[in-house]
A and B are shown apart, each in its own frame.
Chain A
């Protein structure tokens, strides 16, 4: 049974679109039709299917379209072409190092983040101890988060995410700052969720060893196209040689 089916999606971004954002500028551009219209193709006809209980790694250089792909799967962006079919609740952490509210305590942040990830208040209270325990931050529950290190923040966010009852986990560079121990522990926990609850996982990472070790399959994306797909060891090997 498939959790995620992505069919022939394409996505373009308009470059230079971000600037000239004021109303007057927009009017002038619209009237003179002289605006910069440079486009880059971020994803070009990408199709993937991921089954229940499967862990898939996505690798590729910076700017190859990995995060954009995850955002389209999560429903944050809309693809220009193609279809996405989702079966289950998505929990996504995409380049999220700074999502917490620094001036709030860890406890408040757990409630805020849990709610953002679609947990009910009751559910958060039930899972609160698990979250704190897994993050190993028991001593800091009432500490404001601005005093946390980057690794601690990452640990906290990750602990909330895996306790938010996911069916699908989209993880983008979540292990790049954590220490070795926590990384191992997290990977084990993910494995556990995959085996017991049939969770499907997409892991985007530059830590190729992680991909090799924990993913059933890997997908290599280059310039918005799938370059190679298959056994994670083979794909990582191919990527290393062709970099």
Chain B
């Protein structure tokens, strides 16, 4: 199975790019105004959270606007990719899956690629904020390094959840709910500080590691703690293997059920 995956990697990427391109065209129907909509969501989220929390929760947090914005846009890639993964296979491709034996991983990869593309616009927005708050833009290079394991984690997670959606028809509803819980549990608009229970919960939350690492490096220009770095890499590798395993186990059965 692993050998198979590596041999097919080129094909998976090639098809993944084509599918992402097609999906992108479908979403925007030829107009590039759609990019505006990608930005609207994080901007509005940022504005409202900043308005509500900046005086109290954000009071003790250094450079709170940057802290908040980075958390929002990182969570946003995870959220939109996984939410799409719970609907895409059944929605648009069931006829093709039953007719052609193309590498199924490409479907999930295309969602990840598409969301990375829209994430790059959010990142531009974040760069503007960095400049505004006089923080060095150098951190963005670190961000790219952090984003690689983050994207691998998202890919692995999406593989698993996309194929499970075929088996459990209410998976998408459950995931919408679960993602909201994770949003509240992850320190995005607040910091954990001394809340032990919350800290223990977040040790099991992959997003905590990636977001903390990014904030340390990009905003505060400090080296993250070792457990954060290893946690992020560990979760990334674990979810890649787990996702590929689940996906490969179930992908043939999936074709029969859609």
CB pair B98 A71 closer than 8 Å: yes
* Interface-side segment among A93-101, A191-199, A223-231: A93-101
| Contact residue among A26, A90, A99, A121 (Cβ-Cβ distance under 8 Å from B96) | A99
Does A76 lie at the interface of the complex (its beta carbon under 8 Å from any beta carbon of B)? yes
Does A104 lie at the interface of the complex (its beta carbon under 8 Å from any beta carbon of B)? yes
CB pair B255 A77 closer than 8 Å: yes
Residues of A within 8 A of B18 (CB): 111-112, 115-116, 121
CB pair B168 A21 closer than 8 Å: yes
Q: With A22-B168, A23-B168 as known contacts, state yes or no: A94 contacts B99, CB within 8 Å.
A: yes
Chain A, 155-192, contact with B by CB distance < 8 Å: what is the 0/1 string?
00000000000000000000000000000000000000
Residues of B within 8 A of A90 (CB): 101
> How far does the alpha carbon of A121 sit from the alpha carbon of B22 in the complex, in Å?
14
CB pair B174 A23 closer than 8 Å: yes
Residues of A within 8 A of B253 (CB): 78
| Contact residue among B21, B29, B95, B252 (Cβ-Cβ distance under 8 Å from A98) | B95
Q: With A22-B169, A23-B171, A77-B252 as known contacts, state yes or no: A112 contacts B99, CB within 8 Å.
A: no
Residues of B within 8 A of A117 (CB): 100, 102
Residues of A within 8 A of B174 (CB): 23
CB pair B98 A103 closer than 8 Å: no
Does A75 lie at the interface of the complex (its beta carbon under 8 Å from any beta carbon of B)? yes
Chain A, 1-32, contact with B by CB distance < 8 Å: what is the 0/1 string?
00000000000010001100111101000000
CB pair B19 A112 closer than 8 Å: yes
Does A92 lie at the interface of the complex (its beta carbon under 8 Å from any beta carbon of B)? yes
Q: With A22-B168, A26-B168 as known contacts, state yes or no: A118 contacts B102, CB within 8 Å.
A: yes
Residues of A within 8 A of B98 (CB): 71, 76, 94-95
Which residues of A approach B to under 8 Å, CB–CB?
13, 17-18, 21-24, 26, 71, 74-78, 90, 92-99, 101, 103-104, 108, 111-112, 115-118, 120-121
Known A22-B170, A99-B99; further 13 A-B contacts with Cβ < 8 A: A22-B168, A75-B101, A76-B97, A78-B253, A95-B99, A101-B22, A101-B26, A103-B26, A104-B26, A108-B25, A115-B18, A116-B15, A118-B102
